[in-house]
Chain A
Amino acid sequence: MRHVIEPTDLTLEEQSELIAEASLIMRNPSRYAEVCRGKILASLFYEPSTRTRLSFESAMISLGGSVIGFASGDVSSAAKGESIADTIRVAGCYADICAIRHPKEGSALVASQFSTIPVINAGDGGHEHPTQTYTDILTINAVKGRLENMTVGLCGDLKFGRTVHSLIKTLSLHPGNKFLLASPEELAIPDYIKWILRDRGCEFEETRDLEGAIGKMDILYMTRVQKERFFNEEDYVRLKDSYILDMAKLEGAKPDLAILHPLPRVNEISVEVDKDPRAVYFYQAMCGKFVRMALIKKLLDL
């Protein structure tokens, strides 16, 4: 039995297989509509994350399976006071596979240690979120047709954004990728990520100037700059506009740039950008369902 708690729980080769399988499903979803007939996904969401929950549940239903579980609203009755260990042991009596979202770091690992069914980490308190990373690489692969030899821009909160760290760690394993890291100084990429990049011989550049760097990018991964991350309102107001993507900043960008965002978006991408064919973040959300279909299928050995 396999669990997926962090992106590297699948080897790079398995990730490639997953992406290939998800691409097949995406091309012909009806062929997979009965694959999980009779199987049940336990969807254990201790905190709100509507988008992730919907994508997991939609993935299982699209495979012909069913979903049980709870969302944060009814946690009080479902699991209040009960340990994660007990909840997962009970879920194993009723379901074949589980997706768990919990605000504490390491919660999914704990679940996997006590579980009789495969556990997928659907986010453990901003710690790991492997299906987001798989979604991102499926999207890039689908749009660009490759995962190597690209200049990858990442913009916004590069300090706390774990999805950004996971994506860099994954893409740096593919040859020839360069990274342009655009963020305010307060939210710059942590040192340990830079060590990984140096260790792997990847070129990277840090910049405060998104507009100046955008012309070199093949991929632009946007994230939200949250007000709470700043010590004072002034810094936030002063800085946030430099990291908001609008049509003016896109002027110097390549015609085949792909703009990604893990969603939900607040204001970091101006809505006028949505109409631009380079904006692929809603397509990315769709990819999220297909990659989860492929993952559920794999973990259930179907």
Chain B
Amino acid sequence: MLSIDSIEKGVVIDHIKAGKAMQIYSYLNLDVLDCSVAVIKNAKSAKLGKKDIIKIEDRIDVDLNILGYMDPNITVNVIEGGMITSKLKLTLPDRLVNVIKCKNPRCVTSIEQEIAHVFKLSDKQQKVYRCVYCEQEQK
């Protein structure tokens, strides 16, 4: 198994539910980065049995907010100088852009092609997001 010591600087996204790494890879748009990215599937985990891990080398500025929405159990370690310099606390992002789609058939997003599906956090406790166009809620 790869260990975090092997990167000098970067971000390690750990405790991803096994099988979900590629989904996260695509939501974070990691395909557009030109730094090296390692996706580790089915790593052994004391906590989860099996887990996925993503390592992003050299970059620590990737916007990871979306992880808080996808799975609050994910942990994020920031590595600098070969050491974990901080553990990011994931919180629910205030806005979700093109992550979930509005299901309200009366919503303008059902007809207008060029607009993004944007949701705003309206209730942190209940994890409720509302479509900015029609205010329909989505949990």
Contacts and interface: CB of A to CB of B under 8 A. Distances in A.
Given A104-B106, A106-B109, A110-B115, 5 more contacts: A83-B113, A85-B114, A106-B108, A109-B132, A127-B135
- Which range holds the interface residue count of chain A? 10 to 19
B134 A127 contact: yes
A113 B51 CA distance: 42
Contacts of A104: 106-108, 110-112
B108 A124 contact: yes
Please give me the 6 A-B residue pairs with the lowest Cβ-Cβ distance, nearest first: A106-B133, A105-B134, A106-B108, A104-B108, A107-B108, A106-B134
Interface string B98-118: 000000101111111111000
Interface string B77-116: 0000000000000000000000000001011111111110
A84 interface: yes
Interface string B8-29: 0000000000000000000000
Interface of B: 104, 106-115, 131-135
Given A104-B107, A105-B104, A105-B107, A84 B112 contact: yes
A113 B133 CA distance: 11
A113 B132 CA distance: 12
Contacts, number: 45
A84 B108 CA distance: 9
Contacts of A113: 115
7 contacts: A102-B108, A103-B106, A104-B111, A106-B107, A106-B132, A106-B134, A110-B133
A104 B113 CA distance: 13
A183 to B, nearest CB: 22
Nearest to B110: A104
Contacts of A109: 108, 132-133
Contacts of B111: 104
Given A104-B106, A104-B107, A110-B108, A83 B131 contact: no
A125 interface: yes
Contact of B114 (A83, A102, A124): A83
Interface string A23-64: 000000000000000000000000000000000000000000
